[in-house]
Amino acid sequence: MKKSPTAEIISVGNELLIGHTLDTNSHWIAKRLTRFGWTLQRITVLRDSLAAIKNGVKGSLERKPDLLITLGGLGPTHDDVTLKGIALALNRQLALNLDAFAMVKARYIALEAPTGLTRFRTKMATLPAGAHPLPNPVGTAPGVLVKVGKTSLVSLPGVPSEMKAIFTGSIIPMLKAAKGQAPLEVSIGLVGIIESALAPALDRTRKAFPGLYFKSHPRGREGGIRSLIQLHVYSVDPDSRSKLDNAIAYLLRELSKSA
């Protein structure tokens, strides 16, 4: 069984930590990583603070994921400090990247923007040494890719439309190239069972079917006829479909015994 490639996300923005904005970006990316058989190990949400970003990126890189995605903080304003934080974490200089500069310039020419390439616009083409820009088809700030050992460190804008456009254009091909095996998954709803009554039957099933992963989510209240438990059963081995079906049949038999 091939090992699943691993990923982490670092989402940057005070608006996420003061409860203004819900981090739907990470959720959108999590779905796609899973679809291509990648394992998202951790999401970290950080303030727009140089020290927080530097420490967060260093911490993630120490865990050596195959892919580390940062979200947000790539814009032209002073409080967009993600690339500065990454440069500090990597101990690399920030410098004007000519490919990125060409992308930003082309964008402003196309927009017929009233003013020229001010230092605020130039900032969006100022990347850590050794980085490559990723085209942004719907906005100005390019995405950024830096290889750090085995980790591909990718920085994307926080504006959802821009993040999705760069992800689709530049990251999905990367996910496909190093594709893991998408996990097998079955979801069933168990009605009229409370979680602590399910637990012993689930425990026996787990022992009888090692290698499968079970997770129960109570959707109703404990007790009462309307209680509902949603049960997810996964396997990272895509050839284990029949094993998975057998495990569910086994669990249902165990439950009917105790009812």
Residues in 132-151 that interact with its own copies by CB under 8 A: 138-140
Residue 147 or 213: the one with the smaller Cβ distance to its own copies is 213
- Rounded CA separation 51/88 (Å): 9
What character string, x for contact with its own copies (CB under 8 A) and - otherwise, covers 31-70?
A: xxxx----xxxxxxxxxx---x---x--x-----------
Phi and psi torsions of 188, nearest 5°: -130, 150
Q: How far is the CB of 253 from its own copies (least distance, A)?
A: 18
Residue 116 found at the interface with its own copies (CB under 8 A): no
Residue 53 belongs to what H/E stretch?
helix 50-62
Which residue, 177 or 225, is less far from its own copies as judged by CB?
Answer: 225
Angle 82-90/50-62 helices, nearest 10 degrees? 50
β partners of residue 133: 144
CA dihedral 10, 13, 16, 21 (to 10 degrees): -120
Q: Give the footprint of its own copies on residues 240-259 (CB under 8 A).
A: 258
- Residue 249 makes CB contacts below 8 A (sequence gap 6+) with none
Q: Which is nearer to its own copies, 176 or 217 (CB)?
A: 217
Binding status of residue 202 toward its own copies by CB under 8 A: yes
For its own copies, which residue of 96, 99, 176, 196 counts as binding (CB under 8 A)? Answer: 196
68 to 107, contacts with its own copies by CB under 8 A?
75-79, 107
